[in-house]
Amino acid sequence: MATAADRLGGFPRWVTEEYWMETRRSILTAPAHPSAFRRAARNARELVPRLAEFTGSTATEMHRWLAEVRRRRLAQEIRRRCPTASGMGGPAAEVLYLFARAARPRAIVETGVELGVSSAYFLQALDDNGSGELWSIDLPFVGGGHTNADGRFDAAHVDTTGDVGRAVPDRLRRRWHLSLGDARELLPTLPLSGPWDVFFHDSEHTRAHMLWEFETAWPKIPAGGFLLSDDIPENDAFSTFAASVGRPSFRWLRRGALRRPATA
Ligand SMILES: C[S@@+](CC[C@H](N)C(=O)[O-])C[C@H]1O[C@@H](n2cnc3c(N)ncnc32)[C@H](O)[C@@H]1O
């Protein structure tokens, strides 16, 4: 007999979890509306084929990679190392993993590590690809969040600087270069001479900083490479940048992706 999971297209659990995670505040104040379930079901059905098309992979490959990362039980490993880790959250981070499997990058560059959930998923993908390195930059906010230059409170923080990336399993660290400091200083001087096959922004979500990171990263991304961003609804930086480079975007929940044209 078909399970609820099958009826949702074989991809529902994490999308549903993600949905609940993302909307937990509104759910607490307003009981679940049927449209919430419809939206989760629609996302589940549509995400894999859309992601496969956007990355130039097949849905079969996507499902195989997804099964692989779930077999690794990385989410459980992260939770054991870091019970308070939320960050991108396991479900949202699975999409990062899929991007990194599809791109087979030699180099991934990310800004914003905190406890290291996104880093762990990228590193797992590199390990499963059998090649590539991750270059991460984080300016830790120790002991509490802060109000950013756009006047928004950013809760991301660590208890000590030693906690940056604590969620990343030791077995994945050999492909990792972690630098602590302001992305404004470290991103342009990253000691990485080759292209940035995948770039992921998840540091300071002010409009000015996001635009600056996108503009800094884009020329480094080779034909067919990806620019990814978390928290795109924070402001119009992502859509403004996408329009300025004339590229269609792939969006999932609070995240967005752009691809350099394959012939650029
Ligand atoms: C949302 S958290 C990153 C979450 C992480 N990607 C994950 O999946 O777990 C944002 C991080 O960016 C850091 N950050 C904020 N401003 C920064 C800047 N200007 N340069 C580098 N890192 C910054 C914060 O201290 C925080 O650790």
Q: Which of 33, 244, 100, 78 is nearest to 170 (CA)?
A: 78
Give me the residue spans of the domains in the chain: 13-259
If you average pLDDT over residues 203-229, what whole number do you get?
97
Ligand 1 centroid–CA 10 distance in Å is: 33
Question: What atom of ligand 1 comes closest to residue 231's alpha carbon?
Answer: 1
- Domain at 13-259, CATH from 3.40.50.150, 3.30.565.10, 2.30.40.10, 3.40.50.2300: 3.40.50.150
CB 156 within 8 A of CB 114: yes
Q: Which atom of ligand 1 is nearest to the CA of 158?
A: 27
Say how many Å lie between the first and final Cα of the chain, rounded.
49
Residue closest via CA to ligand 1's atom 24 equals 140
Average pLDDT, the chain: 85
Q: What's the pLDDT at 109? A: 98
- What confidence category does residue 235 fall into, taking pLDDT thresholds of 50, 70 and 90? very high
Buried b (16+ CB within 10 A) or exposed e, 108-126: bbbbbbbbbbbbbbbbbbb
Nearest CA to ligand 1 atom 9: 87
Q: Is the pLDDT of residue 177 over 60?
A: yes
Per-range mean pLDDT, top range of 120-124, 145-149, 230-234: 120-124
Global confidence as pTM = 0.86
> For residue 140, how far is its CA from the centre of ligand 1 (angstroms)?
7
- Main-chain phi, psi angles of 257, to 5 degrees: -140, 145
Mean per-residue pLDDT for 108-116?
A: 96
Instruction: Tell me what pLDDT residue 186 has.
Output: 98
Ligand 1 close to Cβ of residue 141 (< 6 A)? yes
Longest Cα–Cα distance in the chain: 57
Query: What share of the chain has pLDDT > 70, as a percent?
Result: 80
Closest to 192 in 3D by CA, of 208, 209, 179, 205: 179
Atom of ligand 1 nearest to the CA of 85: 9
φ and ψ of 170, to 5 deg: -55, -35
* Mean pLDDT score, 178-183: 98
Mean pLDDT confidence for 68-74: 90
| Protein residue with its CA nearest to atom 19 in ligand 1 | 182
Task: Say if residues 111 and 201 touch (Cβ distance below 8 Å).
Answer: yes
Instruction: Say yes or no to pLDDT of 54 above 90.
Output: yes
Mean per-residue pLDDT for 225-244?
96
d(CA 176, CA 182): 18
